Chain A
Amino acid sequence: MKYTIAVLVENKPGVLARVASLFRRRGFNIESLTVGVTEKEEISRMTIVVKGNEKVLEQVTKQLNKLIEVIKVSDVSFDSVERELCLLRVNAPPEKRGEIVELTNIFRARIVDVAKDSFIVEVTGDEDKINAFIDLMRGYGIKEVARTGKVAMVRGAKK
C-alpha cells in the first residue's frame, strides 16, 4: 500500500536532510518527495509518498512528529486531490505530429516547446493519468522524462 503524507515543516536549511535521514535510518521507503513553501513564508510543505502498511505509516508519522522542526503531519492518502506535473520530450517527426497533438489534447496536456523533430509536452494529473500518457508516448520514442512527484490536498473545507 502507498500512503501520501503531508508534512508541514519550518522553512530552514537542513530540514529536508533531517527528514530524508529519518526515512533512511528507520528503513522507510520514499516513493516520492516534493517540497515547497506554503502560504506562510516560514513554513514549507513536504508531500511524501511512502510504501508500507499501517504500522509503517504509524511509525513514520510518530517519528516525523519527533523532529523539532516538523510542525504537523497529516495523512492525505484518502479523499484528496492529488496532482503531479510531468515534462516529457518526445520524438515528433513531421508525419507523426498530428497524432501527438491530438493525444495531447485528449489528455489536456500542452506542447510547451517545439524543435525540428521533437516536442516537449507538459502534462498534469494524478499518477495514473501521467503513467497512461507516458505509455502512449512510448510508441513515438520518449527522449527524456522529468516528473515533479505528487502533491496532495484533502477535499472539502479546511478543518
Chain B
Amino acid sequence: MRAADAFIKALEKEGVEVIFGIPGGAILEIYDALYDSRIRHITTRHEQGATHAADGYARASGRVGVVFATSGPGATNTVTGIANAYMDSSPIVVFTGQVSRPMIGNDAFQEADITGITMPITKHNYLVTDPNKLLRIVREAFYIASSGRPGPVLVDIPKDVTTADIEFDYPTRVDLIGYKPKYEGHPMQIKRAAELIIKSERPIILVGGGVKISNASKELIELAETIPAFVVTTLMGKGAISEYHPLCLGFVGMHGSKFANYALSESDLIIAVGCRFSDRTTGNASLFAPQAKIIHIDIDPAEIGKNVRVDVPIVGDAKRILSNLRKFIEYKYRKNWEDKIREWKEKFPLKYKKEGFKPQFVIEKACEIFPDAIVTTEVGQNQMWSAQFFKVKYPRQFISSGGLGTMGFGFPASIGAKIACPDKEVIDIAGDGSFLMNIQELATCIHYDIPVKVFIMNNGYLGMVRQWQELFYRERYSATCIGCEKISFEKIAEGFGAVGITVERQSEVVEALRRAKEINDSPVVVDFRVEFQANVFPMVPPGKSLREIIDEED
C-alpha cells in the first residue's frame, strides 16, 4: 500500500475526526490520500491558525488535536502554536511534510530543519527516515502526546517516504523503554499528605491545569468539601471547580483577587494539584506563602521542587491521587479560617470604576448572557479581565494561552473548540491587537460555517503593555498605540462575509450581546469601543509577594 494511504488509515485507527492544516508540495501525497478519507479537514488560512485551532480542539474535547503542514515555511509557521501547546501541556500531533530524503541537508526548496527547530518545544519529535517505521511512529506520537503530562509531538515525513510502498500493519501496543508515565501516587506520601491536611488549621487547595487534563474535577470538589478547604485556581486551572461553588475563591496570582491571594499567602498548608508554580502564580517565589507547608501533586516529577520548596511530593495522576487522598481525610470545621476568608471576601471584592465605557462591564454582561459558552481569550488585558469577570461553571469552559502568552491564540482556538463542541456557544474575548494577529481565520469560519463570536475589547492600544508603561515607565507610551479606533472591525467582518457590530456606548452593550446571541448561522464580530484608560487591577507588582497586591486606589 502507498505509505500515504497507510498513514491516513492509521489516523482513522487513532480515531482522528478532524485535521487542521494547509497543503503544500512536500505533503501533497498525504493530502491526495486524505481525499478518499472520511476524516474532516479544515483548511485554515495560516499554519499558526491551524496549530492553535488543534490546540483549542484538544483543550475543549480532551482529545488529541491534529495538524498538517507542508515543509519549510509551512512547518516553521506552526512553531508558535507548538510552543504554546508545550507550555500549556496540550496534546497535539503535528505532521509536517519534508523534502525527499536524498535532498535533506542540501538546502533544498522549502527545506527547514523542523525537528531541530522544535526540539526544545515538543514533548518529542520524529524525522521519519524509514517508510517501514512510519506507522509505528504515528502510534507512538499519539501515545506520547496524550499520556503522562500531555504535550505536542511533531512528525516530519519526507516526501519520498510518503510515496513508498509499505504493509499496513498498525501496532496496537506501544513499548518505549525510556517512557513509562507514573499514574499511581506513592501510598506513603498520600498518607503523609493526609496527616498534614488533618493537622492544618488554614488549608487551601491550589489548582492548576493538570486537574482539567486529568478530568479530576469531581475528585477535587469531593476532597475540598471533605476537608473542607477553599480552592484557588491558576489561570490554567480556572473552571476545574465551578466558580459559583461556595469553596471556590477563583483566580489567584498577579491579577487574581485580593482575597484569593491573601488566602493563599496566609495559609498554613497548600495542597497544590497539577500546577507548576509559575512566576505569575507565586509572585516573588522566595516570599511565597511563608507559613505554609506545601503538598505538591503532579504527574511530572520535574515540576516538583523546580520553583518552590515542597514538603510532600506526590507524583502521579491527579484523579487517582485525589480520590485516594480523600479516603484518609476527616472533616474538621475550621471556624477562624473560614471567618477570616469571608471577611477578606467582603472587604476586598473584585471591582472596577463604573463610570465610562468599561471592558470589565462588557465581560460581566457577556458572562450573564452566555453563562454556558466556551470562552477562549487572547492575551493581555482582555485575558485578565476575562479571568476575573467571566465566571465559569465547568472544567473545559475557559481556554486561554497561559504559559506562552500568545496573542492571536484565542480566535483560532475558538474555531477548534467550536468544532469539538458544535452544540455549545463559543466566544473569543479579544483585544484589538490580538485579534489582528490571526484575523485571517475569519475566512476559515465563513468557508466552513463555524459560527463563533468574537468580542473585541477595542481600546486602540496594546493595552497590557500600555498599562505597564503607565505604572512602571513614567507614562512613556513607546510603540503601544495601534490606533484600532480608526479601523472598522464591523466592515472587516462584513468584508469576510461575517456579521459585524460596533458598540460605541456602554448603554448599548447588553443589546449588542443579545443580538450576537441570536445569530447562530454566521460568525459575529462585535467591536466594543471601550475606553483606553481602563487597567487590570488588582495587581501584584513585579518582584513583590502576593501579600503586597495593590488595587487601583492603593
Contact = CB atoms under 8 A, between A and B. Distances in A.
Interface in B294-319: 300-302, 305-306
A106 B178 CA distance: 44
A96 interface: no
Contact of B177 (A10, A14, A55): A10
A121 interface: no
Contact of A58 (B123, B176, B179, B305): B305
Contacts of A9: 178
A66 B180 CA distance: 10
A22 B302 CA distance: 13
Contacts of A17: 116, 119
A14 B129 CA distance: 12
B178 to A, nearest CB: 4
A105 B123 CA distance: 52
Contact of A68 (B120, B176, B306): B176
A70 B302 CA distance: 14
Question: Which interface class (under 10, 10 to 19, 20 to 34, 35 or more) fits B?
Answer: 10 to 19
Contact of B144 (A10, A55, A59, A68): A68
- Majority secondary structure, A binding face: helix
A127 interface: no
B178 A25 contact: no
Contacts of A62: 301-302
B29 to A, nearest CB: 24
A18 B178 contact: no
Contact of A66 (B116, B119, B176, B300): B300
B45 interface: no
A67 B300 CA distance: 12
Nearest to B306: A59
B120 A25 contact: yes
B124 A65 contact: no
Interface in B102-155: 115-116, 119-120, 123-124, 127, 129, 144
Contact of A14 (B127, B144, B302, B305): B127
A68 B178 contact: yes
A117 B300 CA distance: 59
Interface in B259-313: 300-302, 305-306
A14 B301 contact: no
Contacts of A82: none
Contact of A71 (B119, B124, B144, B177): B177
Given A65-B302, A66-B302, A14 B115 contact: yes
A63 interface: yes
Interface string B155-198: 00000000000000000000011110000000000000000000
Interface in A31-79: 55, 58-59, 62-63, 65-71
A71 B124 CA distance: 14
Interface in A11-28: 13-14, 17-18, 21-22, 25
Contacts of B120: 21-22, 25
B149 to A, nearest CB: 8
Contacts of B116: 17
A5 to B, nearest CB: 15
Interface in A61-114: 62-63, 65-71
A158 to B, nearest CB: 18
Contact of B178 (A58, A59, A69): A69
A68 B127 contact: no
Question: Which among A21, A22, A68, A71 has the highest number of chain B CB atoms within 10 Å?
Answer: A68
Contacts of A22: 120
B115 A71 contact: no
A18 B115 CA distance: 10
B179 to A, nearest CB: 5
Nearest to A43: B177
A56 to B, nearest CB: 11
A17 B118 CA distance: 12
Nearest to A15: B178
Nearest to B305: A58
B119 A68 contact: no
Nearest to B116: A17
Nearest to A63: B302
Contacts of B305: 55, 58
Interface in B330-386: none
A10 B178 CA distance: 8
Nearest to B148: A66
Contacts of A21: 119-120
B302 A59 contact: yes
B519 to A, nearest CB: 46
Contacts of B129: 13
A9 B120 CA distance: 18
B168 to A, nearest CB: 24
A68 B179 contact: yes
Contacts of A68: 123-124, 144, 176, 178-179
A10 B126 CA distance: 14
12 contacts: A9-B178, A10-B178, A17-B119, A21-B119, A21-B120, A22-B120, A62-B301, A66-B300, A68-B144, A68-B176, A68-B178, A71-B177
6 closest residue pairs by CB, A with B: A62-B302, A71-B178, A68-B124, A25-B120, A68-B179, A21-B119
Interface of B: 115-116, 119-120, 123-124, 127, 129, 144, 176-179, 300-302, 305-306
